[in-house]
Amino acid sequence: MKSSASIGDYLIEQLYSHGVRHVFGIPGDYVLGFYDQLAHSKLAVVNTCDEQGAGFAADAYARVRGLGAVCVTYCVGGLKVANTTAEAFAEKSPVVIISGAPGIGERERNPLLHHKVREFDTQKRVFEQLTVASTVLTDPQTAFQEIDRVLHAALRFKRPVYVELPRDLVDKPGIAGHKTPEVHEASDPQTLREALKEAAAMINAAKQPVILADVEVHRFGLQEDLLKLAQKTSIPVAATLLGKSVIGEQHPFYLGVYEGAMGRDDVRQYVESSDCVILLGAFMTDINLGVYTARLDPARSIYATSEKLSIRYHSYEEVRFKDFVRGLLAAKLRRRELKSAPRAEPLPAFVAVRGKNKITVKRLFQRLNSFLTDNTIVVTDVGDALFGAADLFIHRRTEFLGTAYYASMGFAVPASIGAQLANPKLRPLVLVGDGAFQMTGTELSTAVRYKLNPIVIVLNNDGYGTERHMQDGAYNDVLCWNYSRVPELLGAGRGMVIETEEQLDQALFVAERHTESFCLLDVRLDPLDRSPALQRLANRLAKKL
Ligand SMILES: Cc1ncc(C[n+]2csc(CCOP(=O)(O)OP(=O)(O)O)c2C)c(N)n1
Ligand SMILES: [Mg+2]
C-alpha cells in the first residue's frame, strides 16, 4: 500500500482485492467525501432508488460473487438497510455496510446534528446486532487494521459487517507501510483427521447414505467439490430450498429439493429413511426444511457447517467447513452402485392450450421451466413466487436466488440488479408477487439506468395471496397497478399483460428476443389460485396459528 493512502482509499483497495467491482447506495452529506473517492476509483457506484434496494442488490451480488458492498449516509440511509443486513446475516451473505457519519471533530459537546437519533453511536449499536463484526474508523493509527479485521470476518463467517466512516477522517492517511496480513484459518490437523476417520467409517458402513446440501456450499464455493464427491461415491444429493441449484439438477445423482412434508414425497422418504445423512452447510430452519416437519435424526447424521461439526453425537471443534468437505473428497470412500434413488424429473413439456384457457400458477411454472437456459438466474421473492419455483429444474449451479429463510418481501427486483452486475453473462428471471413488487419494483429504474435486462414475472393475484390461505381480510388486498405500463414511466422496457396460456407463450417469445432492456409480464392469476407446494405449506402454517 502506498504510504500516502487514506482510510477511504485503503477500504476501496481492499474491497477491490476481494473481488468487489460495484458499490450500491445513495449518497448524503456525511458520506459525500467517500463517494468522491469511489467515483475516482476502480469501483463503480450503482445508485438505486432506495437504500433498501441497494441493500438487497448488494446481498445478491455477494451471493453470486463472494462479497458485496453497500454505501449509505448516516441513520436515514443506514437504518434503511437494517432489514437487508438482517437478511444477509440470517442467510449468510457477506455484505460490507459502509456508512458515513458526523466527523469526530463535530461530535464535541454532543450537538444535535441532523440525522442523529439518540447518541452518536446509536446506528453502530443497531448494526452490532445485525453483523458479525463492526467498526467506527475513528483513529488513523488503527483504521487499516480495523478494515482488515472486519473484512476478514465477513469472508470467514460469510456474514455482513459494518464500517462507519466519520467524514473528517476518510481523507486522512493511515499508517504508512501497512501490510495486509494473509490470514489462513487452518483446522486443527489431528481433530480434522479424527473427524474424517469417523465420517468415512460411518459413510462406508451405511446402506443408504445421502448428501443434503445447503447454502454454505454456495457461499464457500464448494459446488465443484460436492459434485466430485457425488461422482466419486455415487451418493445421491438432495438440496434444501435455500441451497437449491447447488448442483446441476440434470445430474443422475440429484434427487431434488428436500423440504420435509412440503416437498416431494419420494425425496422426503429417501432422505428420512437414510442411515447416514450428510448435511453439508445446512441451516436447520423452518421454511428451509418444511416448517419443522423434517425428521432428521442426529444419531444418523453428519452435520458440517462453518460453525459446527458433529458426527452422530460427537462434536468436533476447530474443523473448518472447507477442509472437512475437501477431506471427505480425499478420504477412502467406497464407490457404490447408483441405486434406484428418486430422480428430479423435469416438469412435463409444456404445450400451451390455444384460445381462452386462463393461466394458472401451476401452468405458469410449467411453462417457465422450459424457458430456463444455461444463462438464466432465477431470482424469487417471497410468496408463491418462491414456493412454485422450488419445482423448477435449474440447469447449472448457483442460479437460484431466493430469501427462503428470512423471507423479506421486496428482495427479488433489486436482487436481480446485483446478480446481473455480479455476473453479466446471466439474464435474471425475476419471480415476484404483486405485493412484493409494490415494495421495491421501482428499482427497475436502476435496471434501466445501468442497462440491465431482467425478465420480471409479476404474479398478480390482487394481493397477499400467501396470507389469504391462512386468514383473509381486506388487509390482504393491494391496489391493482397497471404493471405492464411501467415501461412508459421509465422510458424503456417492454410490458405485457397475460391472461391466457397462449399469451404467456407469446410474451416469453418476445421477452427472449427483447434483450436491450427489461421485460415485465403482468400475469393475471385468480386470487385464490396457488402452487401445490404453497397449498401444503399454508395448511401447515394455519395449524400453527
Ligand atoms: C417485508 C415483509 N412484510 C410482510 C411480510 C409478510 N408476508 C409474507 S407473504 C406476504 C404476501 C406476499 O404477497 P405477494 O408478494 O403478492 O405474493 P403472493 O403471496 O400473493 O404470492 C406477506 C405480506 C413479509 N414476509 N415481508
Ligand atoms: Mg400477490
List the grid coordinates of 450: 445501468
544 has pLDDT over 80: no
Q: What is the mean pLDDT of residues 466-476?
A: 91
More confidently predicted of 296 and 194: 194
User: How confident is residue 397, by pLDDT bands cut at 50, 70 and 90?
Assistant: low
Ligand nearest to the CA of 466: 1
What's the CA-to-centroid distance between 61 and ligand 2, angstroms? 26
- Residue 291: predicted pLDDT: 46
Ligand 1 atom closest to 382 (CA): 9
Q: Quick count: other Cβ atoms within 10 Å of Cβ 488?
A: 11
Give 218-242 pLDDT, tens digit per residue: 899 899 999 999 999 999 999 988 8
Instruction: Give nearest CA residue, ligand 1 atom 4.
Output: 409
Backbone angles phi, psi at 285, to 5 degrees: -105, 170
The number of residues making up the chain comes to: 545
Q: Using most ligand atoms within 8 A of CB, pick from 409, 411, 432, 483 the residue to mutate for ligand 1.
A: 409
Atom of ligand 1 nearest to the CA of 437: 15
CA distances from 367 to 200, 222, 260, 514, 540 (A): 43, 31, 26, 18, 28
Q: What is the 3-state secondary structure (H, E, C) of 277-341?
A: EEEECCCCCCCCCCCCCCCCCHHHEEEECCCCEEECCEEECCCCHHHHHHHHHHCCCCCCCCCCC
State the DSSP code for 506: H
Residue 385 pLDDT greater than 50, yes or no: yes
Helix (H, G, I), strand (E, B) or coil at 275: coil
Q: What is the pLDDT of residue 355?
A: 81
Q: What angle do CA 98, 413, 438 make, to 5 degrees?
A: 105
Residue 541, pLDDT score: 64
For the segment 169-188, the average pLDDT, to the nearest whole number, is: 89
Span of 262-266, 279-283, 448-452 with lowest mean pLDDT: 262-266
Residues with a CB atom less than 6 Å from ligand 1: 382-385, 407-410, 433-436, 459, 461, 464-467
Percent of the chain residues topping a pLDDT of 70 = 93
| pLDDT confidence band for 418 (50 / 70 / 90) | very high
Cα 464 to middle of ligand 1, angstroms: 6
| Torsion angle of C-alpha atoms 52, 53, 57, 59, degrees rounded to 10 | 20
The Cα 132–Cα 424 span in angstroms is 29
Which helix (H) or strand (E) segment holds residue 46: the answer is strand 44-47
Which ligand is nearest the CA of 364, by number? 1
pLDDT at 112: 74
Strand partners, 161: 96, 133
> Taking Cα atoms as reference points, which of 22, 19, 9, 82 lies closest to residue 48?
22
Cα-to-centroid distance, 128 and ligand 1 (Å):
27
| Average pLDDT across the chain, whole number | 91
Task: Give the Å distance between the CA of 437 and the centre of ligand 1.
Answer: 10
Residue 1 clears pLDDT 80, i.e. is over it: no
Interval 35-85: pLDDT, tens: 999 999 999 999 999 999 999 999 999 999 999 999 999 999 999 999 999
Cα 465 to middle of ligand 1, angstroms: 8
* Side chain identity, residue 387: F
pLDDT recorded at residue 285: 62
